[in-house]
Amino acid sequence: MINLERHLPQWPVKLRLVRPDAPRFQNADLVLAADCALFAGRGLHERFLDGRAVAIGCPKFDDPALYREKLADLLAKAASLQVIHMEVPCCSGLAYAARRALEDCGRDVPLTTVVLGIDGQALEKVQAE
């Protein structure tokens, strides 16, 4: 059973709705997940969300400029960023927006990208230099 206080400790979680100045995001290990990624397999909450601040979005249906700006604001105060997206082509836009936001935020924030298969298994995990 998922313990929401541990695995999803704040609301809202949609990237366009989160407030970067909220206490939960200060010096946080941030997870940015594609909307569909957290539904891809069992145990993803436990594997990826435990103890982390969370934002979700869909690069296909949302505004990439908004993502870049909002992420840059979040990353200005974050300790790290982990991007989780599916293997489908439209999802890679989330990692792209995160890399551009890292450039904009002016800080060296550790970035990890996890690509999930449609079965929920991690196909690739990339730690940015």
- 63-77 pLDDT, tens digit per residue, is 878 889 999 999 999
**pLDDT (0 to 100) of residue 5:** 55
User: Which segments of the chain does DSSP mark as H helices, in order?
Assistant: 4-7, 44, 64-75, 92-105
pLDDT of residue 7: 56
4-127 CATH, one of 3.40.50, 1.20.58, 3.40.120, 3.40.1000: 3.40.50
| Integer Cα distance of 18 and 123 in angstroms | 29
Report the C-alpha gap between 17 and 30 in whole angstroms. 15
- The predicted model scores a pTM of 0.88
**Mean pLDDT, the chain, integer:** 87
pLDDT in tens, 13-44: 999 999 999 999 999 999 999 998 878 877 77
Q: Give 111's strand partners.
A: 81
More confident residue, 107 or 44: 107
Whose tokens are 């550790």? That residue is 110
- What the block records as the tokens of 79 is 């300790």
